[in-house]
Amino acid sequence: MRDAIVALIVLGWLPFAFFRPVIGVLLWFWLSHMNPHAYTYGFAVNFGFLDYVALVTLAGLVMDGTRKKLPGHPIVVILLVYLVWIILTTIMAFDPGRAVVKFIHLFKVLLFTFVAIMTMQTPNRLKGVLFILMMSMAFIGVKGGLYTIATGGGGRVQGAGGMMGDNNQLAVAMAMSLPLAIYFFQHPPKPFLKWPALGLALSFAITVVGTQSRGGFAALAAVSFMMLMKTRRKFTALFVMTALAAGGYYFAPDSWKNRIESSEKTTEDDSFRGRVVMWKFSSNLADDNPIEGGGFDVFYVPRARELYMSPGEKARAPHSIYFEVLAEHGYTGLVLWLTILFTGWYAGGTAAKRYRAHEETRWLGDLCAACQLSMVGYAAGGLTVNIATFDYFHDLLAFIVLSSVIGEKILARAERGGADKSRGPDAEAAPVKSKKWSPYQNRDGQAARVLPREGRYKA
């Protein structure tokens, strides 16, 4: 039954996605974040819904007569450079056949990041894709929060599939969603959603606790600290955060406390030791291949393990976005990737400061500030979680670019309106020239004089 419902929803909207690629982008965000097919038990589990949505949406873009182009934003430029670089490292990979699988995944993510930037350049479209994203995260966050409360924190919240395949990735995603939930509290789509958005933020935090993920805990702590530094009501925020943290720790089960406290005893923690082994593997590989690295998923290539793995150690995932990129794309790729991260963070802060100064763009400024805080959570959580190809991170980059494009249009329109008012009521209006001539305009673009109805056909 679930399979049929998901299939009907997706396949039913596909024709609309062809004629309106915007709908295809919304479908993509829903499927890639909420992963509704992961909650089915039949054919829909492994059905390539995203591939069909991508194909139809791209076909609609090609057939669409309107011209769409990428803005020359620094984030777009560095993403394009990074795309070229990962193509080269995939060609030169230790095992190109293995590397191409992960490359295709990241290529799809980057492709639809660019598609979203090209197609969602209006306020309502940006708000629409934000709403879809948050409702998808809300479904996962509320479900995880209720499960954590029901089990008293004893049961571990597992991954939701897709980009949140395990509990660590889900925890970081929930921590990244916290600032966006606060944004929806500040700018709710409907007034009655204001306070539920605040409850949603609390649910995200509870879900992070329920995952028992140390990486998620680090991301949550980083986001909470930065939110405390950014807010004007620091004392109130500090009091609320301290009360929630103390209450949560008091009621948390011993299994969770032991899991978090084990971070202080890294030499005795086998899990952490395993991560250090893989970090050494990444460093050794990058020292021998500093320019191009070993290509995607080099951690699972037998030849690379023989060359760079410490004797007697077991190979595993890198558990760090920084060492993940270092091993796969070399020092060159790491510099490019860190440039993307810094450019996104800096652009978000700059845009927030600019657009908060104007009432008509304040919502865009608050959105960019929320995206900047989410990136802090991503950078902190990524210290011990391998999520370099995380969809969510690229979504935040797209939101910052779209906010800049939309914000400049709104401010330019406001400046033109102010200039018209400053001319005074007696100033003669300038004729509006049209790029394309019509029978209702003369050669100067002004409205043509229309003959009275009774005299139109007289000789």
- Residuewise pLDDT in 10s, the chain (459 residues): 788 899 999 999 999 999 999 999 999 999 999 988 888 888 888 888 999 999 999 999 988 877 788 999 999 999 999 999 999 999 999 999 999 999 999 999 999 999 999 999 999 999 999 999 999 999 999 999 999 888 887 788 887 777 788 889 999 999 999 999 999 999 999 999 999 999 999 999 999 988 888 888 899 999 999 888 887 777 777 777 777 677 666 656 666 666 666 655 544 556 777 788 888 999 999 999 999 999 999 999 999 988 888 777 777 788 899 999 999 999 999 999 999 999 999 999 999 999 999 999 999 999 999 999 999 999 999 998 889 999 999 999 999 999 999 999 999 998 887 666 666 555 554 454 444 444 444 444 444 444 444 444 343
Taking phi first (over 0 means left), then psi (-120 to 50 degrees means alpha), and beta for anything else, what does residue 161 get?
A: left
**Token duo for residue 193:** 């959603």
Residue 43 one-letter amino acid: F
Q: Please say whether the beta carbons of 190 and 145 come within 8 A.
A: no
Among all chains, which residue has been given the structure tokens 């649910």? 203
Closest of 435, 438, 419 to residue 427, by C-alpha: 419
- Rounded Cα–Cα distance for residues 125 and 121 (Å): 7
- Rounded Cα–Cα distance for residues 233 and 32 (Å): 36
DSSP 262: G
Closest of 385, 389, 406, 341 to residue 130, by C-alpha: 406
pLDDT confidence of residue 174: 94
- Rounded Cα–Cα distance for residues 348 and 40 (Å): 37
CA-to-CA dists, residue 366 to 182, 192, 194, 320, 403, angstroms: 10, 20, 15, 29, 10
pTM of the model: 0.87
pLDDT confidence of residue 254: 66
Q: Please say whether the beta carbons of 408 and 352 come within 8 A.
A: no
Instruction: Calculate ∠ Cα 182-185-191, nearest 5°.
Output: 165
CA 141 to chain CA centroid, Å, is: 16
Q: Following DSSP, what letter does each residue of 3-43 receive, concatenated?
A: HHHHHHHHHHHHHHHHH-HHHHHHHHHHHHHH-GGGG--SG
pLDDT confidence of residue 432: 46
Among all chains, which residue has been given the structure tokens 């948050």? 134
- What are phi and psi for residue 436, nearest 5 degrees? -120, 130
pLDDT confidence of residue 285: 94
**Token duo for residue 457:** 């056909």
- Rounded Cα–Cα distance for residues 63 and 57 (Å): 10
**Token duo for residue 408:** 């400049």
pLDDT confidence of residue 382: 92
